[in-house]
Amino acid sequence: MEERAAVHVYESEHEATSTGLPNAKLAMWLFLASDVLLFGALITSYVVYRGRSVVGPYPNDVFDIPYTSVSSFVLLASSLTMVLALASIQRGDLPRMRLWLLATALLGLTFVGGQVYEFAAFYEEGLSLTTNLFGTTFYVLTGFHGAHVAIGILMLLSVFSLSFTGKITQKDSMTVELVGLYWHFVDIVWIVIFTVVYLIPTGP
């Protein structure tokens, strides 16, 4: 089953290392592990202060679940376009890789644009960073996530631009894979945020 599902791909060349693994990829995983701790702390803060605000607006007053659900679908779709970009460069198909990278960046921009709109709508309803505990923990958590997405978009656009200079070829597919790892990480953090912050009810 696994054999049928998989294809063999050519990974980038890398210098011999003591672990036998590319240092850049190992470093990216180490960075992601440390970023898990950052988001773990932010999500913990949100959960600990959940339902402890003494003044409104409260989550139920401002959240628009259908709207955020669409944002979640957009981010999930961007993960698909990202892996398709990687699969393209591993096949040596540079034009298609550019197309998928651009699609990923556009989906990321849509997500961030949606988040900016959501923040503006919440602010209009009276929820600022200092209004209550919910406002503080919500904006810090989702703001950090949004910043990660924005950085990811810059990384995607950088790789997209570099591909025109001849610096991204099939043998450099590791670069695309590293950007992809970061992008998927941002996606799985959103999976947790969407569940814990938006879908689990807080009560009045």
Partner 1 sequence: MDQVETPTPEHEVVTAPPHAAGRWARHPSPKEYVRIAIVLALVTAAEVAVYYIDWIHENDLLIPLLFLFALIKFALVAMWFMHLRFDSRTYARFFLIGIAGAFTLYIAVLLMFRTFA
Q: How far is CA 184 from CA 4, 104, 202, in A?
A: 24, 11, 28
Distances (CA, A) of 96 to 71, 87, 101, 141: 25, 9, 8, 35
Residue 31 CB partners (closer than 8 Å, separation 6+): none
Please report, as ranges, the residues that interact with partner 1 according to CB under 8 A.
Answer: 3, 5-14, 19-21, 25-26, 29-30, 32-37, 39-41, 43-45, 47-48, 65-66, 69, 72-73, 76-77, 79-80, 82-84, 86-87, 90-92, 169-171, 180-181, 184-185, 187-188, 191-192, 194-195, 199-201
Phi, psi values for residue 152, rounded to 5°: -60, -40
Q: How far is the CB of 106 from partner 1 (least distance, A)?
A: 17
Give whichever of 9 and 116 is closer to partner 1, judged by the CB atom. 9
- Nearest approach, Cβ of 20 to partner 1 (angstroms)? 6
Q: What is the C-alpha separation between 4 and 17, in angstroms, rounded?
A: 31
Q: How far is the CB of 170 from partner 1 (least distance, A)?
A: 5
Pairwise CA distance, residues 151 & 80, whole Å: 19
Residue closer to partner 1 (CB basis): 65 or 154: 65
Query: What whole-number distance in Å separates Cα of residue 65 and Cα of residue 10?
Result: 42
Nearer to partner 1, 109 or 192 (CB): 192
Residues contacting residue 140 through CB under 8 Å, at least 6 positions apart: 42, 45, 129
Closest separation between CB of residue 143 and partner 1, Å?
19
Q: Which is nearer to partner 1, 77 or 157 (CB)?
A: 77
Nearer to partner 1, 45 or 158 (CB): 45
